[in-house]
Amino acid sequence: MLNKFLALSVPILPKWFVELFSKSYVAGYSSKEVLSIVKELNNKGFSTTIDILGEHVSDLDIAEKITKEYCDLYEKIYQDSIDSNISIKPSHIGLDISEEVVLNNFQKILKKAKEYSNFLRIDMESSKSTDITFKIYNQLKLTYSETGVVLQAYLRRSLKDIESLGSHNFNARICKGIYQENSKVAIKDPEKIRVNFLKMAKLMSEKKSYACYATHDQHLIGALINMIKKHTIDSSTFEFQVLYGVPMNGRLEELLSLGYKVRVYVPYGPDWYDYSLRRLKENPDIAGYVLKNLFSKNS
């Protein structure tokens, strides 16, 4: 209840106060800042994926500007020998404008990913765009195999999507899902979402697909480790993923010690304010994480 109250209260607080919440979770405003943070994470043994903050762009010029920034990021990652790929929301580069625009911009970015032998992750947004996102993914995959997508464990359709898409060259991030969805399309019970997440992870292994387990849920991480050990799942076929800055109480270091890859999702950019408000509304637990972190830093 406290976390929900905090999340609802944040939008009416001064912007400088909201920035306190964002600083631990947003890796700066520029590519220079984010790349510096990513290098530090690499030095600690973590891989990363970089995301420019923003979504639902309706202006063509802005969509093209963001597209160019992603293309430039691939070049900088290559030049600095950084262990990072890139994650992109379709609505950030033109999905709300037209299918033609977003596909054209993705193809420009994909060309750079291929040029620098990197990987492109297409982020998943609300269920309204799931089908079109898979359509974009399938088209891009024909051009460059190092392309992946995201599956949301709270969506009732996700196991069927794995059945349809799963293969030895399918790469998907599995996350719980954060968007507000109708109960007809999404599971609402947290424990049932965990169960579905585990079913999806197991099915990905059976399909010989590469699975990215994206969660901060300590209980779920423990269950995933048990599943990996029980079914002797090869560590080269999966990785764990977390958001930058979320306290994990030593769990990430434990995962590394077990020989598992851990990738940190690192967002940056001038749109930190709207991002912070949305994340707090969609996941009130983050408010609790942040306040705890702030108090611990000042104690």
We report the CATH number of the domain holding residue 215 as 3.20.20.220
CB 120 within 8 A of CB 144: yes
Query: What is the pLDDT at residue 112?
Result: 98
Could you read off the pLDDT of 127-160 as tens digits, one per residue?
999 999 999 999 999 999 999 999 999 999 999 9
Question: Mean of the per-residue pLDDT values for the chain?
Answer: 90
DSSP 45: T
Query: What is the pLDDT at residue 289?
Result: 56
Is 96 catalytic? The answer is no
Inside any domain, residue 248: yes
CA pair distance 214, 30, nearest whole angstrom: 25
In this structure, of 136-145, 163-172, 290-299, the range with the lowest mean pLDDT score is: 290-299
Q: For residue 71, how many C-alpha atoms fall within 13 Å in the half-sphere facing its CB?
A: 16
Of residues 220 and 247, the one with the higher pLDDT is: 220
The pLDDT of 30-57, averaged and rounded, is 96
Inside any domain, residue 35: yes
Query: What is the pLDDT at residue 193?
Result: 98
CA pair distance 268, 291, nearest whole angstrom: 20
Catalytic residue among 51, 121, 161, 173: 173
CA pair distance 265, 27, nearest whole angstrom: 10
Structure tokens at 53: 């903050």
pLDDT-derived band at 25, boundaries 50, 70, 90: confident
Query: What is the pLDDT at residue 290?
Result: 55
Inside any domain, residue 7: no
B/e letters for 232-264, b = 16+ CB within 10 Å, e = fewer, are ebeeeebbbbbbbbbebeebbeebeeeebbbbb
pLDDT-derived band at 247, boundaries 50, 70, 90: confident
Domain total of the chain: 1
Inside any domain, residue 282: no
Structure tokens at 260: 């598992």
CA pair distance 246, 243, nearest whole angstrom: 6
Inside any domain, residue 285: no
The pLDDT of 254-267, averaged and rounded, is 97
Strands 262-268, 84-88: pairing kind: unpaired
Inside any domain, residue 68: yes
Inside any domain, residue 297: no
How many helices (DSSP H) and strands (DSSP E) are in the chain?
12, 8
Catalytic residue among 51, 123, 161, 279: 123
pLDDT-derived band at 26, boundaries 50, 70, 90: confident
User: How many Cβ atoms are within 10 Å of 127's Cβ, its own excluded?
Assistant: 19
Percent of the chain with pLDDT over 90: 78
Task: Tell me how far apart the terminal alpha carbons of the chain are, to the nearest angstrom.
Answer: 24
Strands 171-175, 47-52: pairing kind: unpaired
CA pair distance 97, 91, nearest whole angstrom: 8
Could you read off the pLDDT of 72-127 as tens digits, one per residue?
999 999 999 999 999 999 999 999 999 999 999 999 999 999 999 999 999 999 99
Inside any domain, residue 85: yes
The pLDDT of 227-236, averaged and rounded, is 97
Amino acid at site 84: S
CB 86 within 8 A of CB 66: no
Query: What is the pLDDT at residue 19?
Result: 66
In this structure, of 14-23, 89-98, 210-219, 222-231, the range with the lowest mean pLDDT score is: 14-23
Provide the residue range defining the domain that includes 66: 27-268
pLDDT at 266 over 90: yes
Label each residue of 188-251 as H, E or C: CCHHHHHHHHHHHHHHHHHCCCEEEEECCCHHHHHHHHHHHHHCCCCHHHEEEEEECCCCCCCH
Is 123 catalytic? The answer is yes
